[in-house]
Structure 1
Amino acid sequence: MSANLTVDPEDIAELIGRCKLATNVSEFHGSLVGFISSGGIFPGHSVLGALQLEPDPAPSADEVAMLGRLRQQTQEWLADPELTFSPWLPDDDAPIAERADGLTDWIRGFLGGLGLGGSVMRNQAMSDDAKEILKDMAAIAATEFEFDADDDVNDESLIELEEFVRAGAMLLHAELATGPQPASDTLH
């Protein structure tokens, strides 16, 4: 995917704000990754429809095209053997509480996306590792973080959780996805 067509979190933040979507960037990205990872089928090629988000007003033609690129970009990054995938979380220089909230929002979105994509129905076919990752992600998402007085310890712990979630999402994608979804410029 060429750099000038790459969708970034700021693009999605603008779409969320303009279309008054009931989500944030981390949760939106987690939902999309979960849906793709579960092998979900995009109804009418609609990203927002698949994630059960109701825009008001509807996205513009450019925003619809951007969502299509984001979907394709996310599929490519999840399948990339170079492991380029990374969850969209608050920047490393954001306050630790904001970063922790972003991580839990991303996980909640991811777990919701898996459910919307139908992986819950195939849960019995999951490996023990995949089931354990899902259990651990659910536990992280339900955690109320308490921070140590030492910011370095907090930062290191959060980075470890972020890496676990990143690796877990890639493993679940590799195990659950039934194949790439067709890309289209008319996705929304």
Structure 2
Amino acid sequence: MHDDESGWTEWDGRFSKVPDLSGPSELHGLLTGIVVVTQPPTSDEWQAILARIGFEPLPEDALRLLTEEAEDTAAALQDDTLDYAPLLPDDDHPLIERVEALANWCSGVLLGFGLTGGRIRKDEAEILHSLSDVAGLLYSDEDDDEEGEESYTDLVEFVRLIPVSLALGRERSTVASTSLLTGKPLVDAQGDALDHVDSDHDHAHTEGSDTPIVEHFNPARPS
């Protein structure tokens, strides 16, 4: 899908220069991870959430865009058509940019889910570890070939359904009833304490992977 159609162009313009944010995909992942567990936050709740994890207040137009996208995403995650998609740059962008955006999106999902204190149900640990693997992708110039393009496409199709699976059968809580605003310790989806969002830090790190398409980009991942 082209950048203008997916919303990437607008999001990139609104959020690409937000301090401490790696880019629009991370923020989209964050809101996705949150609305897997909670009802879509209001504008005031978004400002409070972002302030609590260390972001500066958003301008009104950016805040409105974030709030509306959270509502749309919450609906898409429960839609039987399974049309939910991560916000990623289109295929006109270099592969390295797309891989980095996908990794940032996965990291955002893990962070958002973890910040809510969402309960990890049976069999969900494995798919969260899969997100963690993608969040830790490493890319080299050697990956920029047809095989790399195919692996990227497979990865996107694989991870886009993970939030749908996490949302399936889960009754959404109010934002106020979760750890987003109650002052409970902030944790990521792996249960690690978070004091502040640091986009240069790998929030979701897991050793090992049985997913060949992840290993294509990440053959020598550090432990």
In which range does the TM-score fall when normalised by the shorter chain?
A: 0.7 to 0.9
Distance 1:86 1:53, change over 3 A: farther
Distance (Å, rounded) in 2 between the aligned partners of 1:78 and 1:146: 33
Distance (Å, rounded) in 1 between the aligned partners of 2:143 and 2:44: 48
2:168 counterpart (165, 171, 174): 174
Q: Which amino acid aligns with 1:132?
A: E
Q: Which residue pairs with 1:85 in the alignment? A: 84
The CA deviation at 1:17 is 4.8
The CA deviation at 1:92 is 1.6
Q: Tell whether the 8 Å contact from 2:96 to 2:144 is kept in structure 1 after alignment.
A: no
Gaps of 5+ in 1: 1-5, 183-188
Distance (Å, rounded) in 1 between the aligned partners of 2:88 and 2:117: 25
Q: Tell whether the 8 Å contact from 2:26 to 2:106 is kept in structure 1 after alignment.
A: yes
Counterpart mapping for 1:1-188 below 5 A: 8-17=7-16, 20-23=18-21, 24-39=23-38, 42=41, 45-51=44-50, 52=53, 54-55=55-56, 58-60=58-60, 62-119=61-118, 122-123=119-120, 126-128=121-123, 130-146=124-140, 148=142, 151-175=145-169, 177-179=170-172
Identity of aligned residues (%): 28
Q: Tell whether the 8 Å contact from 1:30 to 1:108 is kept in structure 2 after alignment.
A: yes
Distance 1:53 1:73, change over 3 A: farther
Distance (Å, rounded) in 2 between the aligned partners of 1:115 and 1:149: 31
Relative to total residues, which structure has the larger helix share, 1 or 2? 1
The CA deviation at 1:113 is 0.5
Distance 1:44 1:155, change over 3 A: closer
Asked which structure has the greater RCO (Cα within 8 Å, sep 6+), the reply is 1
Q: Tell whether the 8 Å contact from 1:41 to 1:50 is kept in structure 2 after alignment.
A: no
Structure 1 range deviating more: 67-76 or 146-155? 146-155
Structure 1 range deviating more: 144-153 or 30-39? 144-153
Alignment size in residue pairs = 168
The CA deviation at 1:66 is 2.7
The CA deviation at 1:99 is 1.0
Q: Tell whether the 8 Å contact from 2:37 to 2:172 is kept in structure 1 after alignment.
A: no
CA RMSD, Structure 1 to Structure 2 (Å)? 2.8
Q: Which amino acid aligns with 2:55?
A: E
Q: TM-score, normalised by structure 2?
A: 0.65
The CA deviation at 1:141 is 1.3
Distance 1:17 1:48, change over 3 A: farther
Gaps of 5+ in 2: 176-223
Distance 1:153 1:147, change over 3 A: farther
Q: Secondary structure at the match of 1:155?
A: helix
